[in-house]
Structure 1
């Protein structure tokens, strides 16, 4: 029972983290930065990748 609760919490946190990373990636300042230098903010990558990892760990806990 505990693993299922942890899994659900990880999925919720992962989804929120991935959305936060995408919002940073899609922000006006990030678009300007990508246009001028070609670089994407590290916070965007960290949020999206961290969110996906948390979701995957959460899914494995639900099994």
Structure 2
């Protein structure tokens, strides 16, 4: 029972992390930075990658 609750929490947290990372990636300041230097902010990559990892771990806990 506790494993399923942890899985649900991880999936929800992963979704929010992925959305947060995409919002940073799509922000106006990030677009200007990408246009000038070609670099993507580390926070965007960390949020999107961390969100996907949390979702995958959560899904495995739900099985």
TM-score range relative to shorter protein: over 0.9
How much has 1:40 moved relative to structure 2?
A: 0.2
**Equivalent in the alignment of 1:45:** 45
1:19 to 2:19 alignment: yes
Unpaired segments ≥5 residues, structure 2? none
Displacement of 1:47 in angstroms is 0.1
TM-score of the aligned structures, taking structure 2 as reference length = 0.99
- TM (normalized to structure 1)? 0.99
Q: Secondary structure at the match of 2:38?
A: coil
Task: Provide, for residues 2-50 of structure 1, a one-character-per-residue CA deviation record: whole Å limited to 9, x for no partner.
Answer: 0000000000000000000000000000000000000000000000000
Could you tell me which runs of 5 or more consecutive residues in structure 1 were left unpaired when the two chains were aligned. none
Please, what is the CA RMSD of the aligned residues? 0.2
